[in-house]
């Protein structure tokens, strides 16, 4: 309250307060959510075998930085949910790989957007589904 009493803050004052309190520069997030025309649309582009498991490739088609869950279903019927925060896009890349460390074989994978709506959910799955 002391910080704003009698003042007329603008949105950047609010953003800078969060930056100060968190000790991080979150301008990449503020610009994306409040000053862009981006939209939420993720595309699961593939699953690749690597030495200690898999890498799941995801493209940020719409450009919006939002959280999502990557749900993996294995051949034995078990599931694993890997939560990803918006920080996965912090460096500005539109293509990322999520590492899945496992010895099990993946049957299918899907991006689940939770409360955020994906513009085109038809491209959020890979595998048998």
What are the tens digits of pLDDT across the range 81-105?
999 999 999 998 999 999 999 999 9
- Asked whether residue 3 carries a pLDDT value surpassing 90, the answer given is no
Q: How confident is the model at residue 129 (pLDDT cuts 50, 70, 90)?
A: low
Query: For the residues of the chain, what is the DSSP string, one character each?
Result: -TTTTT----HHHHHHHHHHHHTS--HHHHHHHHS---B--EEEEEEEEETTEEEEEEEESSB----EEEEEEETTS-EEEEEE-GGGGTT--SEEEEEEE-SSPEEEEEEE-TTSPPS-GGGSEEE--
- Domains in the chain: boundaries: 1-36, 42-127
| pLDDT score, position 7 | 79
Q: What number is the average pLDDT over the span 114-128?
A: 90
Q: How confident is the model at residue 128 (pLDDT cuts 50, 70, 90)?
A: confident
Q: What is the pTM of this model?
A: 0.85
Note the CATH number of domain 42-127.
2.60.40
The pLDDT mean for the chain works out to 92
């Amino acid at each position: 309250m002391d910080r704003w009493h009698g003042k007329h803050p603008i949105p950047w004052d609010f953003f800078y307060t969060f930056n100060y309190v968190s000790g991080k520069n979150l301008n990449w997030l503020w610009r994306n959510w409040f000053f862009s025309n981006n939209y939420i649309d993720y595309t699961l582009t593939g699953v690749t075998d690597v030495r200690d498991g898999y890498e799941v490739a995801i493209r940020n088609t719409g450009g919006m930085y939002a959280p999502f869950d990557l749900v993996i279903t294995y051949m034995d019927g078990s599931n694993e949910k890997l939560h990803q925060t918006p920080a996965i896009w912090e460096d500005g890349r539109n293509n990322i790989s999520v590492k899945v460390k496992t010895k099990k074989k993946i049957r299918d994978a899907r991006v689940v957007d939770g409360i955020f709506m994906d513009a085109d959910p038809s491209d959020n799955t890979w595998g048998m589904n």
